[in-house]
Amino acid sequence: MTSLDRIAPAFVDMAHSIVWASVTTVDRDGKPRSRILHPIWEWDGVDLVGWVATVPTPVKRAHLDANPEVAVSYWTTNQDTCSAECTAQWYTDDDTRKAVWDKFANGPEPVGYDPYIIPMWADGPTSEQFAALRLTPYRLRVMAGTVMTKGEGAPLTWHHEDAAGLRPPS
């Protein structure tokens, strides 16, 4: 296991270079559903937090109400992969939504983008179709493609065993 201060920067660098992630939720019956989302990650030297600007669909809401955990997986053609298992929390208050909107509007390339390009968000960050989803990782894995293709090195892994309010990783 690697300490968070070593893996978090590597995770953010790889995730932000890949940009798009498969994010999986689980419904009340234990069935998974994946979708492609665009998280932005923040590492302050102590905590790693992901934010997703998303439409709060009834399916996403029902899944996260039943099980507030997600799996986030990134992959690119050179076989670089990274993943985060996280607790997820909706934010629909105006202050948080505006702050998350600004994170994307002013974010670094290639993860930054103008959220107004999404037609259903034409009313801006206070639109009923816009919500912020906060991701708090309890497990991370980063594997450069050379680890798999050439056997060079090992994947970086981390999990938080005693995070308050989080289900311990199995």
Of residues 7 and 147, the one with the higher pLDDT is 7
- Asked if the model's pLDDT at residue 38 lies above 50, the reply is yes
Strands (E), the chain: 21-26, 32-37, 40-43, 48-54, 69-75, 81-91, 131-143, 156-159
Using pLDDT thresholds of 50, 70 and 90, give the confidence band for residue 148: confident
- Asked if the model's pLDDT at residue 5 lies above 80, the reply is yes
86 within 8 A of 135, measured Cβ to Cβ: yes
137-147 average pLDDT score: 92
Which of 78-92, 114-128, 152-166 is predicted least confidently? 152-166
> Residue 2: what pLDDT?
60
42-69 average pLDDT score: 95
pLDDT per position as a tens digit, 80-96: 999 999 999 999 999 99
41-47 average pLDDT score: 95
> Residue 170: what pLDDT?
38
The CATH number, out of the four listed (3.30.413.10, 2.40.128.520, 2.30.110.10, 3.40.50.620), of the domain defined by the range 4-159? 2.30.110.10
The label of the residue with tokens 């968070």 reads 4
Residue ranges of domains in the chain: 4-159
Nearby residues of 110 by Cβ (< 8 Å), 6 or more positions away: 16, 17, 19
